[in-house]
């Protein structure tokens, strides 16, 4: 189980997975946090494919700590926490192993490819993390809940700066073309889990919507597959009904690009808010204010929150229940598209 170390020590962290996001986002963020973490080991099922990440590791990571033996890594008493960065269809099984091994876990989003699998993992975590065990942290790495622009927008809505919100609209055109680095991760285009990119990217968007406007009570949706290389669907259009009374539309396609910025737009009784990830535009009484906010620091922020939860028990935004709610909304959209019915997502928060 997680050991009782002093709260000022470096948390000994193992990377499980060495792909693009591990290399480009998680590793730089861990290193930027200084002595918060000490990288204790790296696992990848194919060591040759881990070379781009291994080249960026600090010299303190020994060659003997690079392994393709997951069971051996999880059995090490000197490893307190693991960062699971694996394909969507593989990740739940590894998260389960790490939880049962008593490690603190941060695992990439989505929590699971479907609600049923996520619910089972949550049940394992809840039962394993009872009063007989040391407190165990499991955080699902939904970095959009740590995006500065989204957090600022949520504060604006809660303060009533644009009055009661009435309507929202979010349209994104994110062409997943062969020149995109994520296109060449074959598992993302395998079609082996519900929704494909609509789930992989969609949980980000749902997390952002829920952070700013609250819970989504019902959805009505349709999906289309325009490109055979993006199964099982690459385009989704949905009507969203929020518990706060807002009605909105969510439109996303991975089939092609468009020149318009993918800003979330919210109209309130006394103003309007436009939300690209890098900043905000607030319009009131005919005047528009532009606010620039830091971007691309959300992975570092969530890793810092993970460390604080381990050290002090501090609350964080990325509980498995929150992550499962994101998946539940996407699953409701996909089921609505199949059935043609208006559906309420299952509730976990």
Could you say which architecture CATH assigns to the domain 11-142+299-318?
3-Layer(aba) Sandwich (3.40)
Q: What is the DSSP letter of 263?
A: -
> Domain ranges in the chain?
11-142+299-318, 145-293+329-339
Output the CATH code of domain 145-293+329-339: 3.30.360.10
Phi-psi region of 193 (alpha: psi -120 to 50; beta: other; left: phi over 0): beta
As a whole number of angstroms, the distance between CA 102 and CA 197 comes to 32
pTM to 2 decimal places: 0.94
Beta-strand relationship, 216-224 and 271-275: unpaired
- The gap from C-alpha 134 to its chain's centroid, in whole angstroms, comes to 26
Residues of the chain whose pLDDT is less than 70? 1-8, 130-134, 277
Residue-wise pLDDT tens digits, 160-195: 999 999 999 999 999 999 999 999 888 999 998 999
Tokens of residue 25, six digits: 């986002």
């Amino acid at each position: 189980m997680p050991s009782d170390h002093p709260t000022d020590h470096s948390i000994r962290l193992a990377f499980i997975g060495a792909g693009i996001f591990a290399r480009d986002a998680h590793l730089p963020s861990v290193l930027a946090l200084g002595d918060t973490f000490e990288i204790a080991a790296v696992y990848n099922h194919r060591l040759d494919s881990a070379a781009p990440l291994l080249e960026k590791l600090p010299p303190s990571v020994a060659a003997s700590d690079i392994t393709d033996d997951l069971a051996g890594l999880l059995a090490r008493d000197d490893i307190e926490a693991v960062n699971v960065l694996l394909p969507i269809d593989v990740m739940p099984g590894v998260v389960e192993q790490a939880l049962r091994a008593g490690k603190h876990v941060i695992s990439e989003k989505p929590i699971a490819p479907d609600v049923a699998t996520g619910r089972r993992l949550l049940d394992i975590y809840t039962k394993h993390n009872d009063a007989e065990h040391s407190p165990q942290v499991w955080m699902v790495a939904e970095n959009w809940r740590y995006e500065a622009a989204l957090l600022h927008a949520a504060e604006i809505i809660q303060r009533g700066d644009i009055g009661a919100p009435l309507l929202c609209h979010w349209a994104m055109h994110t062409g997943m073309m062969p020149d995109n680095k994520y296109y060449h991760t074959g598992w993302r285009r395998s079609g082996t889990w519900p929704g494909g990119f609509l789930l992989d990217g969609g949980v980000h968007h749902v997390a952002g919507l829920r952070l700013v406007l609250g819970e989504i009570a019902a959805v009505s949706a349709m999906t289309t597959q325009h490109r055979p290389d993006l199964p099982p669907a690459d385009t989704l259009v949905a009507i969203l009904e929020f518990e706060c009374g807002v009605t909105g539309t969510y439109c996303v396609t991975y089939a092609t690009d468009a020149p318009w910025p993918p800003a979330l737009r919210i109209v309130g009784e006394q103003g309007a808010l436009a939300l690209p990830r890098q900043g905000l535009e607030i319009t009131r009484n005919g005047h528009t204010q532009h606010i620039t906010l830091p971007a691309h620091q959300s992975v570092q922020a969530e890793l810092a929150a993970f460390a604080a939860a381990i050290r002090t028990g501090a609350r964080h935004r990325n509980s498995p229940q929150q992550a499962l709610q994101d998946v539940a909304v996407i699953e409701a959209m996909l089921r609505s598209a199949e059935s043609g019915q208006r559906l309420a997502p299952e509730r976990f928060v």
